[in-house]
Amino acid sequence: VSQLAVVVNKLDTVNWSQERYNEIVEKMSVFLQQAGYKNKVPFVPCSGLSGENVTTPPKAQALASWYSGPSVLSVIDNFKCPERPVDKPFRFSVNDTFNGTGSNFGVSGRVETGMVAVGDKVLVAPHNEIAVVR
């Protein structure tokens, strides 16, 4: 995990206490640094129950009086897409298989490196069988 945000939920249950928020930020920051997160990790107060500061900036006066940062959605939207190594050989991790029609079957998973197109032939390991991408 290269990008992280901490969503401080249920602050509405403590009447949007800035003191409680700061306490959580302080303790979690120490933990995250020890876990290897050197970059500044954003902390976002919210209430999942009421939706406060989840998709739009805070409207609750008790929160808006001390927090002027982004909403949870804004923080997520600002994450940078990881670069995909498309210039490397095609590698695919199979997560699941399913039966198709007749003797065909399908797979689902994740492209780790490279890219593939319909009609490409791929080598399926460990059985070393050739398959065609449809």
CATH of the domain at 71: 3.40.50.300
Helices (H), 1-134: 18-34, 61-64, 72-77
Q: Is 45 among the domain residues?
A: yes
What is the end-to-end Cα distance of the chain in Å, rounded? 32
> What string of pLDDT tens digits covers the 134 residues of the chain?
778 999 999 999 999 999 999 999 999 999 999 998 887 899 999 999 999 999 999 999 999 999 999 999 999 999 998 887 888 989 988 899 888 777 777 888 888 899 999 999 998 888 888 988 88
Among 33, 52, 77, identify where a domain stops: 77
Note the pLDDT of residue 82.
80
Q: What is the DSSP string of 21-45?
A: HHHHHHHHHHHHHHTT--SPPPEEE
d(CA 50, CA 127): 53
Q: How many domains does the chain have?
A: 2
CA 91 to chain centre: 22
pLDDT at 12: 96
Residues 34 and 62 in one domain: yes
71 with 105, same domain: the answer is no
Q: Are residues 66 and 98 in the same domain?
A: no
Q: What 8-state DSSP symbol labels residue 89?
A: P
Same domain for 72 and 96? no
Q: Are residues 67 and 14 in the same domain?
A: yes
In a domain, 72, yes or no: yes
- Domain coverage including residue 119: 91-132
Mark whether 113 and 70 lie in a shared domain: no
**Whole-number pLDDT of residue 118:** 93
Long-range own/partner contacts, residues 112-119 (CB < 8 A, 24 or more apart): 113/84, 113/85, 113/86, 113/88, 113/89, 114/85, 114/86, 114/87, 114/88, 114/89, 114/90, 115/86, 115/90, 116/90, 116/92
Statement to judge: residues 22 and 71 lie in one domain: yes
Residues 14 and 61 in one domain: yes
- Does 1 fall in a domain? no
Structure tokens, 124: 């399926």
